[in-house]
Amino acid sequence: MDYQIPTSSTQDRPTDGHNVIPNSGRTVPAPIAMEDIEHVAPTRWSYSPSVTKIKITKVSHMRYRHPSSGIDDLITFLLDFGMEVVKRTEKAIWFGGYGIDQYVYYAEIGEEKEFLGGSWEVESWEDLERASKLGNSQIIELKDAPGGGHLTTVRDPEGFPVNFVYGATPRPQPTKQPAEALQVNDEFSKPRKGAFQRFQPGPAAVHKLGHFGLTIHDFELQFQWYTSHFNLVPSDILYAQDDSGQKSDVAAFLHVDRGKEYVDHHSFFFSVAAAQHVHHSSFEVHDYDSQNMGHYWLKQKGYKPVWGLGRHKLGSQIFDYWWDPNGFMVEHYIDGDLVNENTPTGRQPAGDESLAVWSEPVPATFLD
Ligand SMILES: [Fe+2]
């Protein structure tokens, strides 16, 4: 029982707490937050020290093909989602956020819709060459793309396209950001004195691509490929358990290993499911108010929500998932965890409860 009812009206109130056990939130160092769960040793993903891994610096942009008949609807949606059109040709559109990436979303204009892969920026030309050899694929110059650069597209063992880019000129850091940090008053700390909160409704401006994920069939095959060829390291692994108690891994959230440098808890994930497809791509927005204003902006325009807002457990992000007009899922997120080489890798059971701390119940469409 969560409530302690005083037995006498004269009973003193406790001085070290409250009679009701309330909800609470704390910021906890990762090793303490993970002390009750299994930790996974690096031997799980360090296969051969003699293999030179292709060094990824970060995830840069998503690539999709959309049917030309639906391209105007897609543009309207992505503008309402908080991106802007950076460049348009007859064959493609590049959508940008307000971060240093020239673009965060590339839409090829074609016949049928198709997932064309997430794109990883690599550290050097040699890394790009190694990726092209791995896939026996050509390196092409991104002549039309803002910022230029070169790209090669490789297929993973289940046939998903994976893109690597090098040499694109970053966008100069914008001098003015669309959103600024609010002063927030809580019950004890009230830094905002004599000043008011004022807002302008509109789309939640997209800062950058944060992560994307796939639903796959063969966990071990994919896990080995992604972690042996690239500096991708799991932050968290989820397992399923059969009747005999045998555990088998079914999902992984992976970060780009940059040593001591702190990076996003996951830039990529995959999860075993009945159908193989891109699950979603996720874009960072400014804060909780901008995310909520963005949510109601999309709702008022009649777009289809998937799930959110809520807070994820693994990675801690506050999430908000939507369908684009062509049936690809996209997410706005804020407040994700950062990890580095000293952060343990956790392993715990898969299940709805591992998905969110608070939210509406997860809809079946999210799990397909
Ligand atoms: Fe996500």
2, pLDDT greater than 80: no
How close is the Cα of 269 to the center of ligand 1, in Å? 9
How close is the Cα of 163 to the center of ligand 1, in Å? 19
Report domain extents, the chain. 55-171+205-367
196, pLDDT greater than 80: yes
Phi, psi of 33 (to 5 degrees): -60, -30
State pLDDT tens for residues 84-143.
Answer: 999 999 999 999 999 999 999 999 999 999 999 999 999 999 999 999 999 999 999 999
Phi, psi of 339 (to 5 degrees): -130, 165
Please give the residue that has the higher pLDDT: either 155 or 18. Answer: 155
Q: What is the pLDDT of residue 172?
A: 85
How close is the Cα of 141 to the center of ligand 1, in Å? 30
How close is the Cα of 18 to the center of ligand 1, in Å? 36
For the chain, percent of residues with pLDDT exceeding 70: 95
The closest of 216, 294, 282, 295 to 249, measured between CA atoms, is 216
How close is the Cα of 81 to the center of ligand 1, in Å? 15
Token pair 């074609």: residue: 110
Average pLDDT, integer, range 253-276 = 97
State pLDDT tens for residues 202-218.
Answer: 999 999 999 999 999 99
Q: What is the pLDDT of residue 11?
A: 61
For the chain, percent of residues with pLDDT exceeding 90: 87
193, pLDDT greater than 70: yes
1, pLDDT greater than 90: no
Please tell me the number of Cα atoms within 13 Å of 239 on its side-chain side: 15
Please give the residue that has the higher pLDDT: either 83 or 51. Answer: 83
Question: What would the two tokens of residue 138 be?
Answer: 């050509």
Q: Quick check: helix, strand or coil at residue 102?
A: coil
Task: Check: CB of residue 202 under 8 Å from CB of residue 189.
Answer: no
286, pLDDT greater than 80: yes
Which residues place a Cβ less than 5 A from the ion ligand 1?
A: 282, 331
State pLDDT tens for residues 214-231.
Answer: 999 999 999 999 999 999
Confidence of residue 354 (pLDDT cuts 50, 70, 90): confident
Q: What is the pLDDT of residue 352?
A: 77
368, pLDDT greater than 90: no
Calpha distance 70→174 (Å, rounded): 31
Q: What is the pLDDT of residue 174?
A: 77
How close is the Cα of 211 to the center of ligand 1, in Å? 7
State pLDDT tens for residues 293-330.
Answer: 999 999 999 999 999 999 999 999 999 999 999 999 99
360, pLDDT greater than 90: yes
- For residue 249, the tally of other CB atoms under 10 A from its CB is 18
186, pLDDT greater than 60: yes
What is the topology classification, in CATH, of domain 55-171+205-367? 2,3-Dihydroxybiphenyl 1,2-Dioxygenase; domain 1 (3.10.180)
How close is the Cα of 159 to the center of ligand 1, in Å? 22
Q: What is the pLDDT of residue 4?
A: 61
Q: What is the pLDDT of residue 178?
A: 84
Q: What is the pLDDT of residue 19?
A: 73
Confidence of residue 247 (pLDDT cuts 50, 70, 90): very high
The closest of 343, 352, 291, 276 to 39, measured between CA atoms, is 343
How close is the Cα of 307 to the center of ligand 1, in Å? 11
Give the CA dihedral 108, 110, 113, 118, nearest 10 degrees: -20
Average pLDDT, integer, range 24-30 = 95
**C-alpha gyration radius of the chain:** 22
Q: What is the pLDDT of residue 46?
A: 86
How close is the Cα of 87 to the center of ligand 1, in Å? 26
Calpha distance 162→151 (Å, rounded): 10
Q: What is the pLDDT of residue 269?
A: 98
pTM for the whole structure: 0.94
DSSP letter string, 79-96: HHTT-EEEEE-SSEEEEE
Supply the mean pLDDT for the chain: 94
User: For residue 47, which amino acid is it?
Assistant: Y
